[in-house]
Structure 1
Amino acid sequence: MRTIDTTPPGSGAAVQGRAARAGVPTIPLPRAAQDAVRSGAPVRTPSAVPASASTGVADLLRGPVRQARVLMSAPAAVYLQVPTERGSDVVGVLTSDAARLPLGCVLFRPSNGRPLVTVPAGAPAEVGGGRIVVGDLVVRAAAWWDPRPRLPSPRPALLPEGVRQLRNTLYGEGVPHSAFTLPGLPGGPGGPLAALRGAVRRADLDAALRTAVRLVGLGPGLTPAGDDVMAGTMAGLVLLGHPAAERFSAGVHALAAGRTTELSRALLRHAAAGRVSGEYAAVLAGLVGERPLGPAVEGLLATGSTSGRAMALGLCTAIDLVDRTLRVR
């Protein structure tokens, strides 16, 4: 058994507490708590930091307090795995200059101010009751944002010049699509990207779904590039009104179990519901003429080392599948 030692640090053995003198292991209180014990003042708890939370994680934040664990922490993001009735889910605490992921609570501060605590993977945390607690940081949802873009119609018309601009920026003007590669993904005519292009040319959604078997979990990092391609495709099919979007998305998400990271699987689940990053949503808004497209495309392509380009490739794949499917009909 261990007990709390309220003895000031640096005190000699002569003034140590009874528990320490009896040889019982003790846990030293932080200096602020020790001062409070000696003075009789209440221990101050850190004030909650406000954030703008995605409605995609509203059920977790508004629900009962759940014990969570840290998946990863960095200056711009802390990701927490939260156990749920259906398995587990992921919530992120993000700085204002991080990618605006659909599972995130975005602080009103950039990463250069270091508002996020550095905690090791596996460290305990709490999610629920309207807040997130990780280390000494307490975050509360002071505002909400919807990660599912509001488009003009269930099957919105995209500006042809906008689609050309997206493709030229992604692939390179005058460069054949077959030459496009992503780090961590096999290239060449036998690679999964070539197979995906072939499925698109034939407007064959079943073949595209078979390609997902080769792409899910493929690539390095917390969100492998293969997953990002599939997430961009899934979300695009859902938001652009492909008639088989739900079936395709359910199939890809089912494949992700045991094949990829917890964070990436959570993002695939959000994509299946049409919930996307703020950067991806901005490109869609540009494609329907509601905002300038150029800066939005550049913002998406700059996301992560490969994630933004992979998501853009997925969006282009979805645009082609929707176009070819509806044209055939």
Structure 2
Amino acid sequence: MRTIDESTGGHGRDTTHDDTHTGQAARAGVPTIPLPRESAAAGARTPGTSVPAQASTGIADLLRGPVRSARVLLSVPAAVYLTVQTPQGPDVVGVLTSDAARLPLGCVLFRPSNGRPLVSVPSGAPARLGGGRLTVGDLTVSAAAWWDPRPKLPTARPALLPEGVRQLRSALYGEGVPHSAFVLPGLPSGPSGPLAALRGAVRRADVDAALRTATRLIGLGPGLTPAGDDVLAGVTAGLVLLGHPAAERFGAGVTGLATGRTTELSRTLLRHAAAGRVSGEFAAVLRGLVGHGALAPAIATLLATGSTSGRAMALGLCTAIDLVDRTSRPR
């Protein structure tokens, strides 16, 4: 099998898009990425044949391990998510079309959602995972290549381009807009809200206080990945990948809080974030911030992901950057 580095430009994507299908996926809480409109050749899939995909190394143990029974968590045109029981507890794996966000728990197909490569199956339907394959309905997916969802950065504590950080903040908050005015749908705003508490923790460089805000953010907001969870995933992954000394403790605290407080999908993504495994879109922004890739299009793509997911993740990353900067600054 080939190994595809997560920095590969095209990811084997077909640049087609269907607004109706993408809208359905976004309303279901599945992050999707807008693609240019082009004519698509649908192409038929023969039932029972194995469909190749690029699989995240974050799910390699599950995919290569013993065959386990699974069930469908959600099925939409852009993604099918399966939940599977493991000795460590429940886990989630996704089969994603090429125009869905490149999540660290996914097998990414080489076709977009408007080509209808995914089967429509009801929640709770049986599936199987393991032995190198994933089967749901008449769809069997196997890994033709692997990609690493942990971005390769120059050092364990990389230096970020100051102009790049300013560019990210400007795109997220808006030019001349105070950070205190930033709001996310589904999250309480104002001086007593959790985002204000998070900003206060950052000003004091207080990681413990930032972690305490997790009790207010976990599971907060609508969708399969609530906005509060997306913020925390961005903070957690940012601290891990930028080398904050308290990153492991913060990640363990967040993942511990997630049990029983949020969705299965979101809990799994938080666990991946604690290991530094992120979406391809988040990884592209981090690489741009260290000068390894074009930053402006990476930011635009991340912010356009899902209804709130991309902006929430970017807010989390900005929070992590501030915490790392204030921790390392001489006092």
TM bracket, shorter-chain basis: 0.7 to 0.9
Residue in structure 1 matching 2:267, options 252, 259, 265: 265
CA contact (8 A) 2:71 2:124 kept: yes
Structure 2 counterpart SS, 1:93:
strand
Distance 2:266 2:192 in 1: 25
Structure 1 counterpart SS, 2:71:
strand
TM-score for the superposition, normalised by structure 1: 0.86
Distance 1:208 1:328 in 2: 20
* Offset of residue 170 of structure 1: 0.1
Corresponding residue of 2:256: 254
Residue in structure 1 matching 2:49, options 47, 50, 54: 47
Corresponding residue of 1:177: 179
Residue in structure 1 matching 2:88, options 86, 89, 103: 86
Distance 1:286 1:87 in 2: 35
Residues 24-43 of structure 1 aligned to structure 2 (within 5 Å): none
String of CA shifts for 1:54-110, please: whole Å, max 9, x gaps: 000000000010000000011000000011001110000000111000000000111
Distance 1:216 1:151 in 2: 28
Distance 1:189 1:73 in 2: 39
Corresponding residue of 2:159: 157
Corresponding residue of 1:110: 112
Distance 1:48 1:64 in 2: 18
TM-score for the superposition, normalised by structure 2: 0.86
String of CA shifts for 1:203-255, please: whole Å, max 9, x gaps: 00000000000000000000000000000000000000000100011001000
Structure 2 counterpart SS, 1:73:
strand
Structure 2 counterpart of 1:245, one-letter code: A
* Offset of residue 47 of structure 1: 1.0
Residue in structure 1 matching 2:137, options 135, 148, 160: 135
* Offset of residue 49 of structure 1: 0.2
Task: Give identity over the alignment, percent.
Answer: 81
The structure with the larger Rg is 1
* Offset of residue 328 of structure 1: 3.8
Corresponding residue of 1:237: 239
Distance 2:246 2:193 in 1: 25
Unaligned runs of 5+ in 1: 1-43
Corresponding residue of 2:282: 280
Structure 2 counterpart of 1:145, one-letter code: W
Residue in structure 2 matching 1:70, options 66, 69, 72: 72
Distance 1:60 1:314 in 2: 28
1:61 aligns with 2:78: no
Distance 2:184 2:108 in 1: 28
* Offset of residue 45 of structure 1: 6.3
String of CA shifts for 1:293-320, please: whole Å, max 9, x gaps: 0000000001110000000000000000
**Greater RCO, CA 8 A, separation 6+:** 2
String of CA shifts for 1:149-192, please: whole Å, max 9, x gaps: 00000000000000000000000010000000000000000000
Corresponding residue of 1:144: 146
CA contact (8 A) 2:47 2:139 kept: no
Runs of 4+, deviation exceeding 2 Å: none
Structure 1 counterpart of 2:160, one-letter code: L
Residue in structure 2 matching 1:301, options 279, 284, 303: 303
1:124 aligns with 2:152: no
Distance 1:59 1:66 in 2: 12
